[in-house]
Structure 1
Amino acid sequence: MTGLEKTATILAAVGAINWALFSFDWNLIEKVLGPESMIGNIIYWLIGLSGLWLLVKVFK
């Protein structure tokens, strides 16, 4: 597993955990970085791109 794959997997896992916590009305990213922060938005984009990249790799 390359460094990119490890990073994408970790980011996708963080995104999945955040979605689970969001169902309890608790947002991990906002708690750590603050609401509507620029870094938070970048993290959300990276999580989304990681998920898409992993999905493409699964179907290759």
Structure 2
Amino acid sequence: MSGLQRTALIFAIIGAINWGMIGFFNFDVVAAIFGGQTVAFSRVIYAIIGLSGLYCISLLFTADEEPQ
């Protein structure tokens, strides 16, 4: 797994945890850390997490490098 793939996966996991927190506790971690959902930096973080999730779709279609 390349560095880009690992980074995208980490951001996707962070996004999933954030959505879990919203679903279970109605608490948006990103908004709480960066000052709200409409703050420009929060929107950048949301965009990066979204792009990471889209990139992780490509991981579903890559062949395994190790034979099992």
> Rg: which structure is higher?
2
**Structure 1 residue runs of 4 or more that deviate by more than 2 Å after TM superposition:** none
Instruction: After TM superposition, give the deviation of residue 3 of structure 1 in Å.
Output: 1.6
Higher fraction of helix: 1
Q: Calculate the TM-score normalised by the size of structure 1.
A: 0.89
- Aligned residue for 2:45? 43
Instruction: After TM superposition, give the deviation of residue 59 of structure 1 in Å.
Output: 2.2
- Aligned residue for 1:29? 30
Among all aligned residue pairs of Structure 1 and Structure 2, give the percentage whose two residues are the same amino acid.
38
Aligned length in residues? 60
Instruction: After TM superposition, give the deviation of residue 56 of structure 1 in Å.
Output: 2.1
Structure 1: gaps of 5 or more residues:
none
Q: Calculate the TM-score normalised by the size of structure 2.
A: 0.80
- Aligned residue for 2:65? none
